[in-house]
Every structure is written in structure tokens, then in C-alpha cells.
Amino acid sequence: MLEAKRLDDNARARRVAQELQPGATVALGSGLPALVPQELPSDTSIQFLTESGMLGSLVLGVEPSVHSGFLDSNGLPIAFQPGASVNSTVDLAAMLRGGQVDTAIIQVSQVSGVGDFTHWTSAETPELFGPGFSVDLAAGARRVIAMMPHVNEDGSSNIVMECSTPIDGAGCIDLIVTDIAVIGVTASGLQLLEVAQGWRADDVIALTQAQLISSQDLVEMNSGCPPFDASVNKPSEKLFASGLDALSDLPNGAVVMIDGFAGPGGTPHYLLTSLRDHGAKNLTIISNTAGIARVVNFGTPPGKQAIDHTILFDNQQVKKAIASYPVSPSASRPTAFELAYRRGEVELELVPQGTLAERLRAGGAGVAAFYTPTGVGTLISEGKETRVIDGKEYVLEEALRSDFCIIRGHQADALGNVVYKGTSRNFNSVMAPAAAVTVVEVDEVVEPGKLDPETIITPGIHVNRIVIRPSDFSAYE
Amino acid sequence: MPKEKVYTTCDNALVDIADGDTILIGGFAGFGVPRGLIAALCQKSVRGLTCVYSPGSWPEYAKPSGIGQLVANGQVEKLISAWPFTQDNGEIVKNAWRSGDLEIEIVPQGTLAERLRAAGAGLGGVFIPTGVGTRFAEGKETRTFDQYECIFELPLKADFALVKAHTADTLGNVVYRGSGRNLGPVMAMAANVSIAEAARLCEPGGIDPEAVISSGIFVNRVVQVPNP
């Protein structure tokens, strides 16, 4: 038994690679996970997220200069396919917490029978246990794969009943890939799914301190597994033929974020008309304003009317608005929302503009709630928890998330990376991560790589559907 | 007349740094490390500093940051990091910690970024799910929102932030380069005085407004330091 070969690092990475789905977003921790991309075809549509903040598909088999500025989680230079984006650490953490990452791959030192783990960097810094990014990686991703040696040099098991070192995640690990086995972490305990060539289930169980039950369908690791099928390896199609197509599954009662500041700029007029034509009812809309462009009329050509949220109220689609300025600046020209509100047809939740932006950001970043000084001592804080922190008073506000959002961008690429134009950036960029389905209306779709990675404001990870605003589409009806 | 932000030397830019200050220092794996400012800090007589420096894995090719020197000088009382020992300065920091001269507070990297952002954004604190059930929840308030248990994290404010920019203009608008961006933007927001060290300095307008990552409103001082 002890003479049977153990998988080397590359073979183990190859096994992990088989877990990854086309088009998935995969976060790579430091150490062994860096080997995984090499085991995939170079044209994979998988988007890798590194601890350095890079997001994109990788170019394999090249050694970029150390000065290229694009690093992997081990600090080594890597090359990206066109369509990559540069992200700051806080944005990376927000993606993880905000539920944008399908799979995280981490190197661990120990895993327990219930899926607790200690990261390898924690084990290397005894008494301090510095986890690096691993706590965030494991807490955020939908599925977490742990890579590790099955036993230590002294023969002691790394898969234990209870971790002997402080844990970096409670119950986070879903799959364990060692140099001799693949083990699933289930609600009823650890299940041995695969063993390396030459190993028997009993051999592996004997080397595992935690209780391990062998699966009935035990197979050999890395054998008979089909190579990654490039023909099904297509990125999911994000470009939709029309706004109506892009919103076809938007249900009655949906919560919909609608971008724009107030006036005609930065508003998804085309998608607004699509939402009207789609006709879903009882919507809750989240937006800065609620029909102001129509009554202010600024820049509206004679004989026309500005397209804004008014068209939804006129079509009786809205039951509630969450907004900062749903009124008109002039009492003599009330918005459609105001009139509907006075008739008792719609509800309102009033939110200061900055708080609205912060609640949206929190929703997209996995922040459940936050304390802000804005609104303390006013109507805004009534009914909400207030608290003095460090001598200053704050009010508690909760995150906002939605089913859909319709936003206005300037250019997108096929991967959904988006840049905005001027002040149109306003609420667009903060809404994009906060909706389950993000639909963006753009002037133009460009080839991946045309958008400078440094200037991408909304990485494609946040964007589900893209429509091109028809070139003859007018913001006025 | 807007206040002059351009300083001629790193030493000048650090003129008012004082004993006991909290200093944020950017960098990931040797990239985006403000080495000029760190070297100047090592020459100063300030002591009792709290440094937030969380540089990730440190590859062999990366030049030393200078943090090791700062610790060896005995200038640092406390280090806040997700990676306390790296190849950059591991032994020096480890020895200082073992001898009791250096306190180290460990914070997960994502939580660190969020705490810095909270400070920069003027928030009183945030509830996030990271670290529930681990030592990072110990001693902290927890609360459940929508079935998600969260930990209450306080903002992390600082006196100074030292960031490495790729290009800065004289108004303090800054762009970073690649992985050199890392914690730079939130560090620039979270400190009272943020100093950007940039290899390239340009006039206002030299950076496309759409490309600015750290707006000049967050950056108090700019110093040009050629790349090593």
C-alpha cells in the first residue's frame, strides 16, 4: 500500500480542473491552486480571479515579464486573454462576498469532518495564523475545493475529526482533493469518492483520522475522465437581440433597479420602453428619481416628451418606489409618481441619495448592513436603530438587492465588461453588482480587449445581459 | 489657489509624521509598494508606529519593500496584516514579534479592505459574513440579517497612507498599474493625509477623467520617485 504512487502536484491540479464548468468564475488562492489553469485548454471561457485583483481568462504557456503588472495569487506574472480587468482588493472582496464567484480553490493544511479548514499560510505562521485572503475566499464562493497532501511527512492525517489549528472557515469546504483521494463533504459526513491508481479504499481510510465512508461508486482518480470538452466550452451568450428579449422572464412583483440620475443622460431609455412593453406588474422600483425628466422638460424637443419612469406609472406597473427624489422640483408640475402616490396607488420608501448609493453598494458587496451618519436626527432615522460609535451618532441602514436591474452603459464587450460615459456612471456602476440579473443597454459592443483592463468600471462578472440601444432610438416619445 | 500638493522629496512629504501615528502602506507581491516613501520613513526618527501592510505572497524576484528595515529600526510598535511574515521581511518581523517588541494583529484581507473602505466612506461600521465561526468573530458583536450571520466590523482609520501610483497629476488624481492597485484606493480614502508616490507626474488633464482611480480629493500629497 505504501509503495503505491501518489499523485504529483500537476496531476492533482488536473483533477481539480475537471470540477470547473465552462464560463464559471473561479477564485484561485495562493500556493497549489495556481497550477490548475495550466490543466485546462487555453481557450477556456473560465474567468479566473486572483488575489492580486486580476479577473479574466488566462493565456497559458507564456512567461510575461515581471514588469507586466499582472500577477497571480503567488505574485508571479501571468498573461490574460483580451477581456481581462484590473480590480482593487476591496472590489475583489466585494465580488466574493456579493456572491459573484462560483468556485474557490484553496490550499489547506487541515480539513475537519464537517468541512472546517485551516489555510496553509495560517499553519505556516503558528501563534499568529495569518490566513491571507483565504477566509474571504472560502466564505464567499458558492463551492470551495481544498487541495492538500493527505498526510504530513510524519504520517499524521490532514483530514481530521477536529482541526488542531485555529480554523479559517467553518463548514466551508465542499470537496477535498489530495494526492491519493477525492473526498466529498456532505451533510452526513465525509464520503470517499475516488482513489488514486494503485490505492484501495481501506488504505485511504486508514490514513484518514476523520471518519470516512467509501462511496458505492468509487472510481479511480484522473482515469476515464473525458478531456475538457472545448465544444461545450462556450461563454454564455450575453448579447440579446432586443430589450424585450432581455426582459422576457422578468416576473410580476419583481424588484427592479433602474439607473439614471435625473435628466436624460445615463438613463436606459430603451430598456425602460422594453419594460413597459413587457408589461410586468406590481413592480418595486429602486431608482434615484421617479419621473423627473418628463416634468422638468430640460432639452426636450417641442412636441415630444422625455422617456423616464413616468411610462411605467402611466402603465400602472409599479406598486412601490424606493427613491431619493421621486418628486418634481416644481409643485405645479408633479411627477406621475407624485400623482399616483396622492391617489394611494403606490408606496414610497424615501432614502437620501448617498444612503441609496451606499445601500446599493452594500447589496452588491455582501455587506448586510452599515452605520451611516446621514439622516441622524431627521425623519430618515425614525424607526431605525441609531447608535453612538466613537462619540458620533449613526443610523443603521440595510443593503438593497433586486431581481433585475436595467442600466445604461457606453460600451460593453462580449464578456459583459462595461465602461460608462461621463456622469452616466452615477448609479449604474453601483447597481450592476446588486441585482440577480443585470441588463445593460449600451451604444456599442466591442471586441474583448478593446476596453483597457485598467479602465473597466463594471467587470463582466456582474453583467448578465447586454442589449445595443438602437442607433435611431430617441430618449423622447 | 488650490493647495500645492506636489512635494519635491519623500522626506518633505513626510514632514509632519509623528510618533504613534497609524500608517497605511500599499502593495501586493512587491507591486505597488511605495519604496521611496518607506525608505524616507526609515530615515526619520519617528517611533511607535502602527503600520497596516498586507502584501500577499512575496515572490523571489521582488525587491525588498523596506518594511523590514523599518521594523529592524524599532520604529514599528504594531503591524496589522493578513500576511505577517513574507519572504520580504519574514525573519525580521518574526524576531521582533517573538521578542515582544512588535505587536501583530491579524485581519483577513477582504475584511481589512472593507474596514479601510468604511473609514474612507465615513461609515460607523459594517456587518459582513466573513469569519463567522472562526477566531475572527471572537469578541465581536454578531447579528443575523436575512438568515445570514454577520460580524460587526469597525472602520480602520489612519493618520497617513503611503500608496504607489503609476501616474499622478498635480491635483492628486491617480492611476495605478495592474496588481499595483490592490489596497491603494481604499488606503488613500481612509487616511487623514494620503501621499502618492508616482514614477510619472503630469499636469491636470494628463489623465483621462474616466481613467482616474483615486480622485485628487483623496490624495493630499504627491511625490515623484523614478522606478528603481
List of domains in chain A: 9-232 (3.40.1080.10), 243-468 (3.40.1080.10)
A140 to chain B, closest Cα gap in Å: 8
H, E, C per residue of A225-288: CCCCCHHHCCCCCCECCCHHHHCCCCCCCCEEEECCCCCCCCCCHHHHHHHHHHCCCCEEEECC
pTM, to two decimals:
0.96
Is A45:A234 a contact under the CB 8 Å cutoff? yes
Average pLDDT over residues A2-20: 88
3-state DSSP call for residue A175?
strand
* Strand intervals (E) in A63-195: 79-80, 85-86, 103-112, 117-119, 143-147, 159-160, 175-177, 181-186, 189-195
Chain A touched by B28 (CB under 8 Å)? yes
**Quick check: B67 pLDDT over 60?**
yes
Cell 474596514 sits on residue? B115
Q: Which residues in chain A are closer than 8 Å to B126, comparing Cβ atoms?
A: 362, 367, 369-371
Is B209:B203 a contact under the CB 8 Å cutoff? no
Mutate which: B53, B57, B87, B135, vs A, most A CBs within 10 A: B57
**Quick check: A43 pLDDT over 80?**
no
Mutate which: A66, A68, A90, vs B, most B CBs within 10 A: A90
| Nearest residue of chain B to residue A90 (CA atoms) | B113
Interface contact B124-A370, CB threshold 8 A: yes
Task: Give the percent of chain B with pLDDT over 70.
Answer: 98
How does pLDDT run across A207-254, given as a tens digit for each residue?
A: 999 999 999 999 999 865 555 555 554 556 899 999 999 999 999 999
Distance CA A171, CA A116 (A): 5
Q: What is the mean pLDDT of chain B?
A: 95
Q: Strands A347-350 and A369-372, how do they pair?
A: unpaired
Is A62:A82 a contact under the CB 8 Å cutoff? no
Average pLDDT over residues A270-284: 98
How does pLDDT run across A444-462, given as a tens digit for each residue?
A: 999 999 999 999 999 999 9
**Number of domains making up chain B:** 1
Q: Which residues, numbered 21 to 40 in chain A, qualify as contacts with chain B under a Cβ-Cβ cut-off of 8 Å?
A: 30
Q: Which residues, numbered 104 to 163 in chain B, qualify as contacts with chain A under a Cβ-Cβ cut-off of 8 Å?
A: 104, 106, 108-111, 113-114, 116-118, 121-136, 143, 145-146, 148, 150, 154
Task: Give the percent of chain A with pLDDT over 70.
Answer: 96
B138 compared with A300, residue with greater pLDDT:
B138
Cα-atom radius of gyration of chain B, to the nearest Å?
A: 18
Residue B192 belongs to some domain of the structure: yes
Q: What share of chain A is helix, strand, coil (3-state, %, to 5)?
A: 25, 30, 50
- Residue A260: per-residue pLDDT: 85
Q: Which residues in chain B are closer than 8 Å to A387, comparing Cβ atoms?
A: 124
Would you tell me how many other CB atoms lie within 10 Å of the CB of residue A282?
13
Average pLDDT over residues B196-200: 97
Mutate which: B134, B141, B153, B163, vs A, most A CBs within 10 A: B134
Average pLDDT over residues A17-26: 91
Distance CA A433, CA A60 (A): 29
Residue B130 belongs to some domain of the structure: no
Task: Give the percent of chain A with pLDDT over 90.
Answer: 82
Burial of A189: CB neighbours in 10 Å, binned 0-12, 13-18, 19+: middle
- Residue A324: per-residue pLDDT: 95
Chain B touched by A371 (CB under 8 Å)? yes
Residue B137 belongs to some domain of the structure: no
* Cα–Cα distances in angstroms (integers) from residue A213 to residues A6, A145, A161, A162, in the given order: 21, 19, 13, 17
Residue B68 belongs to some domain of the structure: yes
Average pLDDT over residues A105-128: 96
Interface contact B29-A421, CB threshold 8 A: no
**Quick check: B53 pLDDT over 50?**
yes
* pLDDT band at residue A1 under the 50/70/90 scheme: very low
Chain A touched by B204 (CB under 8 Å)? no
Residues 6+ apart with CB under 8 A from A220: A194, A195, A196, A197
Number of Cα atoms under 13 Å in the Cβ half of residue A33? 29
Distance CA A233, CA A22 (A): 5
Q: Which residues in chain B are closer than 8 Å to A140, comparing Cβ atoms?
A: 110, 130
> Which residues share a beta bridge with B103?
B78
Is A183:A128 a contact under the CB 8 Å cutoff? no
Report how many Cβ contacts below 8 Å link chain A to chain B: 220
Interface contact B114-A69, CB threshold 8 A: no
Number of Cα atoms under 13 Å in the Cβ half of residue A385? 10
**Phi, psi angles (nearest 5°) of residue A381:** -90, 0
Q: Which residues, numbered 76 to 105 in chain A, qualify as contacts with chain B under a Cβ-Cβ cut-off of 8 Å?
A: 76, 86-90, 92-94, 96-97
Q: For A71, which of B29, B111, B186 is closest by C-beta distance? A: B29
Residues 6+ apart with CB under 8 A from B228: B35, B63
**Quick check: B28 pLDDT over 80?**
yes
Q: Which residues in chain A are closer than 8 Å to B131, comparing Cβ atoms?
A: 135, 139
Distance CA A313, CA A304 (A): 18
Interface contact B182-A89, CB threshold 8 A: yes
Interface contact A68-B178, CB threshold 8 A: yes
Domain enclosing residue B25, as ranges = 6-12+19-123+156-223
CATH code (residue B100): 3.40.1080.10
Interface contact B108-A133, CB threshold 8 A: yes
Interface contact B84-A125, CB threshold 8 A: yes
Would you tell me how many other CB atoms lie within 10 Å of the CB of residue A418?
29
How does pLDDT run across A368-388, given as a tens digit for each residue?
A: 999 999 999 999 999 999 999
Mutate which: B107, B181, B189, B212, vs A, most A CBs within 10 A: B181
H or E stretch at A412 = strand A411-413
Q: Which residues in chain A are closer than 8 Å to B114, comparing Cβ atoms?
A: 90, 93-94, 365, 367
Residues 6+ apart with CB under 8 A from A227: none
> Distance between the two ends of chain A, CA-based, in angstroms?
78
Judge if ipTM > 0.90.
yes
Distance CA A411, CA A421 (A): 9
B14 to chain A, closest Cα gap in Å: 25
Q: For B59, which of A75, A169, A368 is closest by C-beta distance? A: A75
Residue B149 belongs to some domain of the structure: no
Mutate which: A55, A97, A370, A454, vs B, most B CBs within 10 A: A370
**Quick check: B87 pLDDT over 90?**
no
How does pLDDT run across A181-205, given as a tens digit for each residue?
A: 999 999 999 999 999 999 999 999 9
**Quick check: A95 pLDDT over 90?**
yes
Interface contact A88-B61, CB threshold 8 A: no
Q: For B123, which of A52, A171, A370 is closest by C-beta distance? A: A370
Residue B144 belongs to some domain of the structure: no
- Residue A230: per-residue pLDDT: 52
Average pLDDT over residues B128-132: 97
Q: Which residues in chain A are closer than 8 Å to B176, comparing Cβ atoms?
A: 86, 454
